[in-house]
């Protein structure tokens, strides 16, 4: 007789005393860990439940009786115990006769979803260099990929996080550890498309040299691009439209530009700055910003350029942008929201599991749940809204973080614990922002997913994420409310799996034992071939890629995603987690983006997925291998 595990006990700090691993084995959190995390979380104010935002749908009952709702547009609505069925959506103020005033978020309940199914390309933009790039795939290259997708009948493009990192010489390679989740990385600017730029013969020679590099050298690329950009800005610091645009962006952009300019002088880790500059609202910061106006304006100007180039790159096609789970602890968002983020050496990660006995530490400080509520959810709202902006789609990395996050104290993931978040409120905000932006939302729900998460996602219209490498069910049996794919940036490509080169690289890197890695490989190959013995000599990489996408095409998912890495037969995945000595996030695609349209593999994948969407049932029987 099997005993069902008991639900974890969550204390008033939101900390779970126990947790279940992927095999449903229960673990108890050390009391020392709980005590430490309670200290970090701190005591919420006694009146939090009376002042924190109310997140509701039209027609919902409220926890207050008579109240006046002052809507975003300035109109007002009297409410008595429940919201009217025709209550406008948005961020309103709820005012009670006793003087209470709190945020009221009215959301539609479900995210916006497209009417039709579609397929699209997933691309690591930095890797997608073209003949006109300067060492790294840029927004003009994204435009090329978008135009290719449109010409092939694709409905979307999925890109890696484009968020900004520190402005210094030592550039962060990982797109998943940005300095901000609100602003974008100027390394993705196409220099030729910058108004007023004048590139010399020497500039063009340097760009070509960087483009010929075997790896993507962000330090060298940014040093070159920044020099050209600074020269262009200095020649005309007030181009038409820029200053007015900057003014309308308000405090968030001012904070980003201030942080970037100060980081140029004092480094990209705000806790190391002079004490009087550590508070973004201090008089010292205002004085510094005024005294260094040209430097501050330069960083705001870069965002103005990015805003225009991104709009041109995405056009009318849905471009799904990736939202990382967190930000760098020394970065701009952590500086602006330091009162909302956990302090004291606590970061986000993952508990030990079958793939990593030591657990994982991702290096980002977590938001403290009660402080997030007390801040009217502003850090979350701004991050979601900014990442959706102008593109039509959002992929939420580690969507389980809306429900709970593994907090790592002192850098030891084995000594962590889960901390709970107000998931219903957060999902309601995602639904509202999705509705307003007409943006589809995908939740990356891979790995250990506790009961209730996928049900809540489905209820709120957040698409699940299903992978051929992970699912035991055949693609034809995957849920419609999902995005189907073969692999991700952290998992083997079809070619790497098929040839065995991915296992060989992991053995060389020391990230696993050959016997176990080969066993795992055979299990994954069985998903592709339908045979437990894996590949045969009769099928090469090109045929394996074709078969994988023919399988994927049978899935009834709302979205079907294919990587350019797979279409091009690339053997090395973009990232091997934990392999710090490997050039993760620095591997360019082997074919320039302006030559993709003529590549046979790209044509084959587009044909297979297009045919799959054209079939009403998407359940066509597959021929046997060989």
Tens-digit pLDDT profile for residues 268-279: 999 999 999 999
What would the pLDDT profile of 85-130 be if each residue is shown by its tens digit? 999 999 999 999 999 999 999 999 999 999 999 999 999 999 999 9
pLDDT of residue 390: 80
Query: Which is nearest to 185 in space by CA: 198, 195, 174?
Result: 174
- How large a percentage of the chain has pLDDT more than 70? 95
Buried-state track 376-412, b at ≥16 Cβ within 10 A, e below 16? bbebbbbbbbbbbbebbbbbbbbbbbbbbbbbbbeee
Q: Which helix (H) or strand (E) holds 82?
A: strand 76-82
**Domain residue limits, the chain:** 58-106, 124-314
Residue 626: pLDDT above 50? no
Please list the residues that pair with 407 across neighbouring strands: 348, 417
Listed in sequence order, the residues at least 6 apart from 46 whose beta carbon sits closer than 8 Å to its beta carbon are none
Each residue of 324-351: pLDDT tens digit? 999 999 999 999 999 999 988 899 999 9
Question: What is the reported pLDDT for 148?
Answer: 98
Mean pLDDT of 433-437: 97
For residue 582, the model assigns a pLDDT of: 97
Q: Which residues contact 204 (CB under 8 A, 6 or more apart)?
A: none
For 91-121, what is the HEC assignment?
EEEEECCCCCEEEEEECCCCCCCCCCCEEEE
Residue 478 is predicted with a pLDDT of: 96
Q: From 540, 557, 555, select the one nearest 604 (Cα to Cα).
A: 540
Largest interatomic CA distance in the chain = 78
C-alpha distance from residue 359 to each of 70, 173, 534 (Å)? 47, 22, 30
Around Cβ 516, how many Cβ atoms within 10 Å? 13
Mean pLDDT of 38-49: 94
Measured between alpha carbons, how far apart are the two ends of the chain, in Å? 45
Among residues 550, 563, 556, the alpha carbon closest in space to that of 608 is found at 550
Q: For residue 2, give the DSSP letter.
A: P
pLDDT digits (tens, 9 = 90+) for 397-416: 999 999 999 999 988 999 99
Q: What is the pTM of this model?
A: 0.95
Q: What is the pLDDT of residue 609?
A: 97
Contact 475, 548 (CB under 8 A): no
The CATH fold assigned to 124-314 is TIM Barrel (3.20.20)
> Is 407 in a helix, a strand, or coil?
strand
* 561-581: average pLDDT: 95
- Please compute the mean of the pLDDT values over residues 508-534 and round it to a whole number: 82
Q: Mean pLDDT of all residues in the chain?
A: 93
Q: What is the pLDDT of residue 621?
A: 37
C-alpha 394: how far from chain center: 8
Strands of 274-345 (E only): list them: 318-323
CA angle, 254 as apex, 248 and 255 as ends, to 5°?
A: 140
Q: Which residues of 163-200 are buried (b: 16+ CB within 10 A; e: fewer)?
A: bbbbbeeebbbbbbbbbbbbbbbbbbbbbebbeebeee
Strand partners, 67: 79
Confidence of residue 616 (pLDDT cuts 50, 70, 90): low
Mean pLDDT of 10-15: 92
């Amino acid at each position: 007789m099997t005993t069902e595990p008991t639900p974890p006990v969550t204390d008033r700090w939101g900390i779970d005393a126990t947790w279940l691993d992927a095999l449903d084995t229960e673990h108890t959190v050390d009391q020392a860990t709980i005590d430490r995390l309670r200290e970090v979380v701190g005591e919420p104010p006694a009146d939090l439940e009376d002042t924190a935002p109310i997140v509701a749908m039209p027609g919902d009952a409220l926890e207050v009786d008579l109240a006046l709702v002052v809507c975003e547009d300035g109109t007002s609505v009297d409410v008595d115990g429940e919201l009217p069925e025709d209550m406008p959506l948005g961020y309103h103020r709820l005012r009670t006769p006793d003087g209470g005033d709190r945020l009221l978020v009215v959301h539609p309940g479900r995210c916006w979803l497209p009417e039709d199914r579609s397929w699209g390309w997933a691309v690591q933009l930095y890797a997608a260099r073209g003949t006109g790039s300067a060492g790294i795939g840029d927004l003009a290259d994204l435009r090329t990929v978008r135009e290719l997708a449109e010409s092939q009948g694709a409905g979307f493009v999925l890109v890696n996080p484009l968020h900004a990192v520190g402005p210094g010489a030592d550039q962060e390679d990982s797109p998943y550890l940005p300095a901000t989740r609100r602003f974008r990385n100027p390394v993705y600017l196409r220099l030729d498309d910058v108004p007023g730029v004048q590139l010399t013969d020497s500039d063009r020679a340097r760009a070509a040299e960087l483009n010929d590099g075997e790896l993507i050298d962000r330090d060298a690329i940014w040093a070159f691009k920044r020099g050209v950009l600074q020269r262009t800005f200095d020649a005309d610091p007030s181009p038409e439209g820029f200053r007015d645009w900057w003014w309308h962006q308000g405090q968030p952009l001012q904070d980003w530009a201030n942080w970037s300019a100060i980081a140029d002088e004092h480094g990209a880790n705000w806790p190391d700055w002079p004490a009087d500059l550590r508070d973004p609202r201090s008089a010292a910061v205002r004085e510094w910003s005024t005294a260094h106006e040209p430097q501050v304006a330069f960083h705001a100007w870069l965002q103005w350029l990015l805003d225009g180039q991104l709009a041109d790159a995405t056009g009318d096609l849905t471009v799904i942008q990736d939202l990382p789970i967190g930000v760098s602890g020394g970065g701009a968002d952590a500086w602006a929201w330091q009162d909302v983020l956990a302090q004291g050496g606590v970061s986000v990660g993952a508990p030990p599991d079958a793939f990593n006995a030591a657990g994982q530490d991702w290096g980002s400080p977590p938001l403290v749940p009660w402080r997030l509520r007390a801040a009217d959810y502003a850090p979350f709202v701004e991050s979601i809204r900014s990442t959706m902006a102008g593109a039509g789609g959002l992929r939420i990395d580690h969507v389980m973080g809306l429900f709970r996050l593994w907090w790592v104290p002192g850098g030891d993931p084995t000594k962590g614990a889960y901390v709970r978040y107000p998931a219903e409120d957060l999902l309601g905000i995602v639904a509202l922002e999705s509705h307003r932006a007409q943006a589809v939302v995908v939740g990356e729900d891979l790995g250990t997913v506790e009961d209730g998460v996928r049900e809540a996602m489905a209820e709120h219209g957040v698409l699940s994420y299903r992978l051929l490498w992970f699912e035991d069910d055949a693609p034809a049996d995957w849920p419609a409310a999902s995005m189907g794919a073969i692999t991700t940036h952290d998992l083997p490509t079809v070619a790497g799996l098929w040839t065995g080169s991915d296992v060989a690289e992991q053995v060389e890197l020391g990230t696993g034992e050959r016997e176990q890695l080969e066993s795992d490989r055979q299990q994954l190959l069985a998903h592709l071939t339908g045979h437990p013995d894996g590949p045969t000599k009769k099928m090469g990489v090109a045929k394996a890629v074709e078969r994988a996408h023919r399988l994927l095409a049978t899935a009834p998912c709302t979205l079907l995603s294919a990587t350019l890495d797979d279409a091009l037969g690339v053997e090395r995945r973009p990232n091997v987690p934990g392999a710090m000595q490997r050039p993760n996030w620095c591997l360019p695609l082997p074919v320039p983006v302006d030559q993709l349209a003529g590549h046979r593999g790209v044509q084959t994948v587009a044909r297979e997925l297009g045919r799959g969407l054209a079939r009403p049932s998407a359940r066509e029987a597959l021929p046997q291998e060989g």
